[in-house]
Amino acid sequence: MSNIVKLFVNREKQTAGFIKMMEGGTPKRVMIIEAGGGLGKSWAIEYMREECQRRKVPNVEVDFADGVIYDFLAVLRRARDSFGASAFNAFTQTINQVTQPTLRIENVGSSSSNITLGEANNLAGANVTVGDVAGGNIIKDNSFVINADSAVVRQALQDRLTVAFFECLEQLTAQGPVCFFFDTYDKVTIEAESWLLTQLLPRLRERQLTNVVVVIAGRSAPKLDNAWDSIIARTGLDLFKVEHATEYLVQRCGLKDEASVINALFQASTGLPQLLAMLAENILRSQDTGGQDDWL
Amino acid sequence: MIGSDARNCPACGDMLRSTALFCPKCGTAVLPSVSNALQVSLGQILNSVKPGQAEVMRRCAIPRWFDSEILGVLRDRQDGANEKILAQLETYSFVRQLSNGRYSYSDDVRDLLLDDWRQRPDDLRPIQKRLYNYFERRMGSTTSENRATWLREIVTYDLLLASTTLVKDQQESENPWIITPSAVAARVERAILRFRSLFESAFNAHRMAEAEAILIAAEEQVNILAPTIRQWLEYYRGKMNHASLRLPEAIACYQQLLKQNNLDTELKALSSISLGDVQVENGSWSAAINSYQAALDLPKLEPGQRAAAHLGIGDAYNEIAISSGGWHIASQPQNPLVRTLRNWVLALGTVPMFILVTLLRRAGAAVPPAAILVRYQNWMLARIFRASREEVLAAYAIYKERNDQSNMARCEMRLVDNDVLFSSIKQAVILAQDLLDHTKPENTYRRARVQVTLARALLADRQYAAAQQEVEAALKVFCAVDDGRWETRALSVLGHIHVSKQQPEPALDAYRQGLERAVQIGSVLSRERILYELRVWRRTRADYPPAIDTLLDTASSQRFVNRFPRFLVPYLQIGQSVVVPILVLLTSIVAPNLQPPTVIRTTSNILLPAPTVYTFPWERLIISPLLVLLIAALGYTLLGLVVLWRMPLKQLRQNQPDIYVIHADELVHYDHQGHEAHRIKWSDITTIATADRKLWIRPLPVFSRSIIESKNQPVLRVEGIISWYNTACRIIQERTQAAGAAFSNVDLSFSLLRSRSGIVLITGATLLAVMVASINQWVPDLAALLPASVFAALQLLAYSGVLMIGPMLFWLVIRPLRLRHEFALDRRIPKIIAGVGLAIVLLFIVTNGSIVRVPILSITLFLAGLFLVTETGYQLSVQERQGRRTLVMRSIFQMVMFAVGLMVVVGPIKREFYHARAHAYTVQSNPNAAKDDRVLEAEQSTLFFSNQMDLEIAIAKTDARAWSEADQEYTAIINDPTYDPFTQTLARHNQAQSDFLRCRNTQTCSAAEYARIIAQADRVLEQIRDPQAQSAAYETQADAYGALNDDAKALEKLLRARELTTDAEQIRQLDIKINDRKR
């Protein structure tokens, strides 16, 4: 049993809903978990991912707080690598095509080209591996950052890559469900949000993609009007009740079942899972001084 | 510091450890509040470990994430223990693994610890400095791929370090972080520059996510950054919002920034320009121009920024103009006769315009050709294009000075477009060709854009094949890079080329593709350009393919824009309203001609002036209106050129044209500031009232409008001056019906010439024409044919113009006022109308009732003025919802005022009637009746028209045998130099004749008295050349000689009188007298 499964309590409603979505038991395709800090959104996502792993459902997690600069291509790459690059050969090929150094497009009003590799608009010095092939699959694309003097051209390239990505994804979903997890949505980049709201979610609503489940969690959620209600399930995360705290502290963390201690910890945590975990940590570490090392 | 603060037990007061949950003394649970529970818990954790461990755990909160290397930097030692420590840290629940080997604290925990660090800036700064150095070192050794990541960290620490540097206040301070204020400012400036450079390199390359990540990193601890840095971050947040099309948020950022007083000049300029850029994109062009202007008004502005502001204003003007749909194309009347007549009038109106505009264009002025300028609808557009051109030229001059080739090219492309619009075709082709020649072949994309511009110029030059070649080549490039916006432009040009080549099918294909592409990419301007082309095609070619109708009808979203800002509409209404009345008025002043004075001789041989008659010489009747029209055309031309050169743009900056966007499910209206003023669902519409004024079938733009009422929205007025007004109205009707709205149609429209009032006007014009023809004797004289009273009444009716002025009042005043009352429209209209009315009344008084030469027309104008004042007064009372009593009082006062006015003119009207009838009697050879009417005319007492009619009064006294009084009157006239000699001579004759009549009646006159009568008659004969009058004078002399029994002399005079007269009645009388004398 993984750590998260061991520690996870009281999110049956969300997990059951997620499983139902994955199994196609509901027309809802998107779960939005909007809740304050410390309520266990990331844990819930981690738990759902565990469920995916268990069922061998391809899934990808994009955590907008992980320090990666998520432009649209970073999201697509993360998805490709998580779902399995072999299913996305065409997409990888498209990346390589649009980064061919022969395509030089210049816009009026600026002196530099809008598609460059590395810094000098050529392959030298850039970390480029065009179309490496292993076992018949293109496993690596040009590692590049799209520079564009024209937002229009960049959008055009983005559209082309997105189309290629979704074609691959469509083929993948024909074999079974796939899941996208977007965590810490309150820190989503504008570009990633734009891709999500104008590319991925509309395809779900229009049923162009069927076997795809999306979970979005964060302190804030995307602003979507009622037109999306048919595919979206919105939920929050409740504070723990005392029985959940007991279950967590006693059964998962191994604390003694002393009502006074449990109650005190529960009240101190105010039902916040993260705080409860820290308090439990305090108790568990109370005898541990961190070893002999003093780190400084 | 977290983990070190103590507190007391609330029950027993015993001192507790900061992390205690229970009081060790009394056992009371010491529960932390929700707000500090985390802090307590964290403190507990930190307290439970060794001090060095706690310090490292605290330090790990400083960077946004850490790995083993960063941990070494935080610990300031690379002793090989970092991996082990990392493994220990990972076990804490608040530590998250981001990726292999990278960790961070949960946000809440990190925030708490950072707050704590801010209490210890002296401890924090060396760590931040170490991190800064580390990231710099790491960036130097990394691949270019990751360089941005490290740069982001570097600039973040740079900003933080610059912001937390202390200002030196003691020379002896040894703290290395305390430096002089100027050094601090320099450090802040350096940090900002570094940040800007990094952000802009990503931003300008459209790596938006990277730019945003840099900004987010910098904003993370924004509250402790220096104010200047905060302002710059706010500016870049605005840029970020703009780039991601969060336009309201971007505008808010810039506006917030510009409100700050201590803003750096450069930042102020950049913010103003950027705000303008967002506002242009948002469609708030007027606001955008103001923003750019604010930047230009700054005292120190970089030339590049100045040029950018000029170009921004140029673009904003251009967008205003383009969004209104292009040059106005007038509809062609279907009737060939009407079409020909209209084109002739138009051609006449174009002559002065053509001459002046040709001269100006030859002198190098940027003006559209006369064919465009002849329509007032295009003036404002031309003015805006000119303004745009001037701004682009200003920007171009600066770029040229800086040798900024790429921006020069941007300007040149705009200038080429402008030349094409202004039909300076050769110039445009040369410039575009030159631009293309200077564009490097490898710059495929840039060349493609220039090629479209060149194609446009070639198309205008009718080089269709060359234009097609260029645009097709460009199209391939745009398709290759998926640039939908330019693809649609190219397709639009291609469609136009095919239309010009009369290839409807390929043209339709191109337009159809362009339209689909425009809708696909959501480009409003591209879509509207093509829709405009299609509408022009439909309007200008009678044989247009019916598929155009389908294309236009199926376009789900369409935009219609006012051709003028709304504030100009009342001026245009006034301008157009007064044109016809002024034309009529001028014609009525110039055309009539008074006949030379003639005389009427009564049977008692009294002479009086015949009634004056206006004739209308054909040359005046035709040439005068033509001249007036020509002068009007000249004035119109000058006005157009004044608008083009001198029309203040300040008003326009604050009043952009309204926009109506018709979507599939709703109608959206943007007001004069570009703000959304209405958003009406079709199903919510309750009333569509159409208040069009048409000459025949088509609405007159400035006098027409539709009014839309809906649930929960204010009344929406759709002006007739919007582009393609009829189409817009039709679509609104269709979509409202299709949405199943329960709405009512209120038709308040009327056709001027097809209405009852129109019939009245046509009748009035016809009657006037007949009267004029009759008096000019082009047709039999009605005065001779009709009974005198009938003739007089008809002449009065025709010359008064009441049959034409009445309908005009109805069209221009009564209906607009009623509409205004009903829909609460422009509040200024009644006041303007009342002002015009008052001016007419005052003019009538000042000119002594002679506003125009024809008295009865002056009277009509006076009554019309009076009506305007009273009617508008009444309507204002109703509009202002005054109390019933006030309303009644005002109504009574106005009625009394109008009644007094009527009474004032009753006398003059009667007098005009007698005058006209006297003329009829004169023509019908009934001098006595004519004389009687002249006398009646003279007897009418009036306040106005106090014409000198003392002669007629004296004659009345003669008739009444009041000899002495008559004599005094005649003497007064003879001695009064204000009388013209003709009247004085008549008075002299009448005095002599009156004396003779007295003598004959009284039989008491001496020979001397008869001799004086003869002498008077002699003087009359010397002074007058009119044979009729001379004949009368000879007759008087003959009668006097007869009384003196000098038969020879009497006979001689009678024969002379007989020779001179043509009056049958006088001849008969003379013949009797001659026979008597002979016997």
CATH code of the domain containing A91: 3.40.50.300
Residue carrying structure tokens 């080329």: B497
Residue % of chain B over a pLDDT of 90 = 26
Alpha-carbon span B353 to B373, nearest angstrom: 8
CA distance B386 to A161: 43
The rounded distance, in Å, linking the Cα atoms of B553 and B901 is 56
B554/B272 Cα distance (integer angstroms): 40
The answer to whether residue B179 scores a pLDDT higher than 90 is no
Q: Mark whether A247 and A153 lie in a shared domain.
A: no
Beta-carbon count within 10 A of B170 CB:
8
The 10s digit of each residue's pLDDT in B527-556 is 888 998 999 898 888 788 999 988 888 888
Q: pLDDT tens-digit profile of B259-291?
A: 998 888 889 999 999 999 988 877 788 889 999
More confident residue, B127 or B172: B127
- Mean pLDDT, chain B, whole residue set: 84
Q: A256 and A229 in one domain? A: no
Q: Is there a single domain that holds both residue A115 and residue A71?
A: yes
Does any CB of chain B come closer than 8 Å to the CB of residue A112? yes
Among candidates B37, B85, B148 on the partner chain, residue whose Cβ is nearest the Cβ of A269? B37
Q: What is the pLDDT of residue B265?
A: 87
**Which residue's structure tokens are 């993984």?**
A2
Asked whether residue A141 falls in the same domain as residue A250, the answer is no
For chain A, the domain total comes to 2
At B399, the pLDDT band (50, 70, 90 cuts) reads: very high
Structure tokens given for B495:
């469609």
Using an 8 Å Cβ cutoff, are B73 and B130 in contact? Answer: yes
- Whether residues A182 and A257 fall in one domain: no
One DSSP character per residue, A46-82 reads HHHHHHHHHHT--EEEEETTSS----HHHHHHHHHHH
Segments of chain A with pLDDT less than 70: 1-10, 98-154, 285-293
Q: What is the pLDDT of residue B31?
A: 53
- A295 domain-assigned: no
Residues whose CB falls within 8 Å of the CB of residue B450, separated by 6 or more in sequence, listed in order: A108, B409, B413, B432, B435, B436, B439
Residues of B in contact with A159 (CB under 8 A): 482
Asked whether residue B576 carries a pLDDT value surpassing 90, the answer given is no
Chain B positions touching A70 (Cβ under 8 A) are 209
HSE toward the beta carbon, residue B540, CA cutoff 13 A: 13
Question: What is the 3-class SS of B206-271, one letter each residue?
Answer: CCHHHHHHHHHHHHCCHHHCCHHHHHHHHHHHHHHHHHCCCHHHHHHHHHHHHCCCCCCHHHHHHH
Which pLDDT band holds residue B225 (cuts at 50, 70, 90)?
A: confident
Do both A48 and A147 map to the same domain? yes
- Residue A107 has φ and ψ, to the nearest 5°, of -105, 150
- Which residues contact residue B766 at a Cβ distance below 8 angstroms, ignoring those fewer than 6 apart? none
Q: Which of A235, A250, A269 is the last residue of a domain?
A: A235
Contacts 24+ apart (CB under 8 A), B330-333: B330/B375, B331/B539, B331/B698, B332/B539, B332/B540
Lowest mean pLDDT among B119-123, B136-140, B825-829, B1032-1036: B825-829
Kindly report, residue by residue over A89-145, the tens digit of the pLDDT.
888 888 877 654 433 333 333 333 333 333 333 333 333 333 333 333 444 444 445
Q: Measure the CA–CA gap between B135 and B152, rounded to whole angstroms.
A: 9
Q: What single-letter DSSP state applies at residue B120?
A: -
- Extract the tokens encoding B737: 């019906």
Reported ipTM: 0.74
Indicate yes or no: CB of A191 within 8 angstroms of CB of B212.
Answer: yes
Q: Based on C-alpha coordinates, what's the Rg of chain B?
A: 46
State residue B684's pLDDT score: 93
Does A246 share its domain with A231?
no
Per-residue confidence (pLDDT) for residue B826, from 0 to 100: 62
Q: Are strands B614-615 and A137-140 parallel, antiparallel or unpaired?
A: unpaired
* CB-CB neighbours of A81 under 10 Å: 13
**β-pair partners for B746:** B689
Residues A190 and A264 in one domain: no
Q: Taking CB atoms and an 8 Å cutoff, what residues of chain B touch A125?
A: 144
Shared-domain flag, residues A182 and A158: yes
Other beta carbons within 10 angstroms of residue B1045's beta carbon come to 9
CB B481 within 8 A of CB A158: no
Q: Which domains does chain B have, with CATH numbers?
A: 7-44 (no CATH), 658-751 (2.30.29.30), 955-1078 (1.25.40.10)
With respect to residue A12, please indicate whether it lies within any of the assigned structural domains.
Answer: yes
CB contact under 8 Å between A108 and B31, yes or no, is no
Q: Name the DSSP letter for residue B334.
A: S
**B478 pLDDT above the threshold of 70:** yes
Domain contains A279: yes
| A294 found inside a domain | no
What number is the average pLDDT over the span B193-218?
Answer: 85
pLDDT for the residue B854: 82
- Residues in B closer than 8 angstroms to A278, CB to CB, are 38, 41-42, 45, 93-94
Question: How many contacts, defined by CB atoms under 8 Å, are there between A and B?
Answer: 209
Residues B689, B666: Cα–Cα separation, whole Å: 18
Residue A293 lies in a domain: no
Cα–Cα distance measured from residue A268 to residue A249, given in angstroms and rounded to the nearest whole number: 13
* Torsion region of B16: left, alpha or beta (phi above 0 gives left; psi -120 to 50 gives alpha): beta
Q: Does A283 touch chain B (CB under 8 A)?
A: no
Give the Cα separation of B505 and B527 in Å (integer): 19
A167 & A265 share domain:
no
Cα separation, B950 vs B819, in Å, equals 51
**pLDDT the model gives residue B454:** 94
Q: Which long-range contacts (CB under 8 A, 24 or more apart) does B490-495 make?
A: B490/B452, B490/B455, B491/B517, B491/B530, B492/B526, B492/B529, B492/B530, B492/B533, B493/B452, B493/B455, B493/B456, B493/B459, B493/B467, B494/B468, B495/B530, B495/B533
pLDDT at B676 over 60: yes
CA dihedral (B475, B480, B482, B484) in degrees, to 10, reads 0
Exposed/middle/buried for A220, CB within 10 Å: 0-12, 13-18, 19+?
Answer: exposed
Indicate whether A292 belongs to any domain.
no
Tell me phi and psi for residue A34, to 5 degrees: -115, 115
Kindly state the average pLDDT of the residues B666-670: 93
pLDDT of residue B169: 54
> Which domain covers residue A77, as residue numbers?
3-235
For residue B723, what pLDDT is reported? 85
**Comparing B575 with A105, which gets the higher pLDDT?**
B575
- Give the pLDDT band (50/70/90) at residue B947: low
Residue B313 scores a pLDDT above 90:
yes
pLDDT digit string (tens) for B85-116? 888 888 888 888 887 788 888 888 888 888 88
Pure H helices in A66-173:
72-83, 89-98, 151-173
Cα B891 to chain centroid, rounded: 36
Model pLDDT, residue A100: 45
Side chain identity, residue B465: A
Cα(B129)–Cα(B134) distance, integer angstroms: 8
pLDDT of res. B782: 92
Whether residue A290 is contained in a domain is answered as no
Q: Which residue of B has its CA nearest to A123?
A: B144
Domain match, A222 and A251 both = no
Q: Tell me if B108 and A295 make a contact (CB, 8 A cut-off).
A: no
pTM of the model: 0.68
Q: Of B45, B243, B449, which has the smallest distance from its Cβ to A281's Cβ? A: B45
- Do residue A39 and residue A173 come from a single domain? yes
| Packing angle, helices A273-285 and A259-269, rounded to 10 | 130
Q: Say yes or no for a CB contact (<8 Å) between B207 and A108.
A: no
- Record: contact A264-B209, CB cut-off 8 A: no
Contact A149 B206 (CB under 8 A): yes
